[in-house]
Structure 1
Amino acid sequence: MSNYQHFQLQQIAGTLGAEVSGVDLSTQLSDDVIAEIRKALLDHLVLFFRDQNLTPDSQIAFARRFGDLDQHDFVKGLPDHPKVIRVLREADETTMNFGGTWHCDVTHQECPAMGSVLYGVDVPPYGGDTLFANQYIAYETLSAGMQQLLDGLTAVHSARGPFSPTGRAASYWKNMQVTPSEKAYEEVEHPAVRTHPETGRKLLFVNRTFTVRFKDMTERESAPLLQYLFEHASQEQFTCRFRWTKGAVAFWDNRAVLHHALGDYSGHRREMLRVAISGDRPY
């Protein structure tokens, strides 16, 4: 166990992920505690806090210590807290759960989220774990030739797969406030290899949900390389797995990790509240 000045931290996997204890996220934490949490986030990429008791207000207050809050383009927030979205699959739903593919949040935006804070409101008795994958390691384990190729490529991202009128939202996620829109067909460009704005390290920055092709290439031309990268980026040795409990919180660096919510809890309800922290334009 690693000892910090203001809390205890236990790493849970080889490449990323740590559980933090001794912190009550519902309180007004000091600047020193927040600075230490930020350092731990940069070191471990995703932090887990169990046995928290958050309201939407306290979840927002914690997230705002790390930046402004992001507004989701296609998912309506809570009535009194529009920047808090409910991630919900009821017990009688059988479709794929929200977030059920490897992805980085909202890379269809010019400035994707810096991080996300996810709170477990109602968790199933089994299943529904979330997987996270370290994209520093994904880049660093590529061959020098592949790194050189990717360093010169720009990836095109779009939300059409999940959120267009013909996308998954049209038939999935019936109990969430998702509004399919023509806006989802819009495209943005990000470097295929991103430089983290705080650590300066390079990382792979493509994902199954939003990356559709490379700039100046067709989707068919892009598909073989993208498929290879998607599979490479989510290898088991790059990942950690979090078993949710009621009141648990996950806080991840959305700039440097992919995540994937498992849907293996048919017949049970799973409800989370998510707040995203605004980020910078990737470079």
Structure 2
Amino acid sequence: MSLTITPIGSALGAEIEGIDLSLPLHAEHYAAIEQALLQHQVLFFRNQPLTPEQHLRFAAGFGKLHIHPLYPNVPQHPELLLLDTDVVDLRDNASWHTDVTFLEAPALGAILSAKQVPPFGGDTLWASGIAAYEALSAPLAKMLDGLTASHDFTRSFPLERFGSTPDDLARYEQTRRDHPPLSHPVIRTHPISRRKALFVNDGFTTRINELQPAESAALLTLLFNHISRPEFTVRWRWAANDLAFWDNRVTQHYAVDDYRPQRRVMHRATILGDKPF
């Protein structure tokens, strides 16, 4: 298999052709994909009709997989998240977020496979935390470096939407006990490339710890608006069997919720990462 890598955005994003992800891959294929991910931050593969087993095998080649504490999974495959608008409320995905930053060691990345898509709408956007950081003024970047921010899973997963039955409530309360709010650096250093990236997101970040509440709220609003500027983003129009692989350490994404009442079904494998620094 010979990979063809075509950039599709200035800040991030590339489409990869010339590989069949349903087949077992060799070490050199994983190395090439990992290098492309470091360079482009989000990769897109078209026409990859993967079974759950094939999806998980591909994802597991990059690291240990996460089991989400609240979202449903594909039956018999706990590591494969089911994002189905006929099964679960997915409004929390219609905001700029970085996945599972409520973990002490958030995800390295995620691999999302489109199983059923609406005839129009339902695009996903990604934003580069690296491009956003590098566009900051020098005084602001210097001030942010060294600050920490709190991340709380309840910001995206409120009780009123995920505790509607006794079983749901019990699971929710257990998740809250297992995942109390924690802190990450506002500016994260990529563990491999050593590039710096903005690492606060509207999905889970609640405050900048070293600032007064009003200062924190104002600065977070500025940073949330900054990272979503169009020049830092790429937008993908899904077709069935498309697959996206993003570096969760330095990106955010936004699933556009503009297709109801049409159904959208996606499978996601989430690869655990390392503690941000």
How far residue 20 of structure 1 moved from its aligned partner, in angstroms, is 0.7
Partner of 2:226: 232
Partner of 1:18: 14
Q: How does 1:232-271 map to 2 (within 5 A)?
A: 232-271=226-265
Distance 1:17 1:120 in 2: 17
TM-score, normalisation: structure 2: 0.92
Deviations 1:94-114 (A, max 9, x none): x76351100000001101000
Distance 1:272 1:207 in 2: 22
How far residue 169 of structure 1 moved from its aligned partner, in angstroms, is 3.5
More helix as a share of residues: 2
1:169 aligns with 2:127: no
Partner of 1:42: 38
Q: 1:87 aligns with which of 83, 89, 98?
A: 83
1:180 aligns with 2:172: yes
Distance 2:66 2:106 in 1: 9
| Higher mean displacement: 54-63 or 72-81 | 72-81
Matched residues, number:
271
| Higher mean displacement: 235-244 or 157-166 | 157-166
Q: Please tell me whether the aligned partners of residues 147 and 210 of structure 2 are also in contact (alpha carbons under 8 angstroms).
A: no
Secondary structure of residue in 1 paired with 2:20? coil
Secondary structure of residue in 2 paired with 1:115? strand
Name the Cα RMSD after superposition: 2.1
Distance 2:230 2:121 in 1: 18
Q: 2:272 aligns with which of 273, 278, 282?
A: 278
Q: Please tell me whether the aligned partners of residues 76 and 179 of structure 1 are also in contact (alpha carbons under 8 angstroms).
A: no
TM-score, normalisation: structure 1: 0.90
How far residue 165 of structure 1 moved from its aligned partner, in angstroms, is 1.8
Q: Please tell me whether the aligned partners of residues 92 and 156 of structure 2 are also in contact (alpha carbons under 8 angstroms).
A: no
How far residue 42 of structure 1 moved from its aligned partner, in angstroms, is 0.5
CA 1:73/1:219 → structure 2, altered by over 3 Å: closer, same or farther?
A: farther
Q: Percent identity at matched positions? A: 43
How far residue 214 of structure 1 moved from its aligned partner, in angstroms, is 1.3
> Structure 1: where are the runs of 5+ without partners?
none
Distance 1:238 1:276 in 2: 23
> Structure 2: where are the runs of 5+ without partners?
none
Distance 2:39 2:136 in 1: 21
Matched letter for residue 123 of structure 2? D
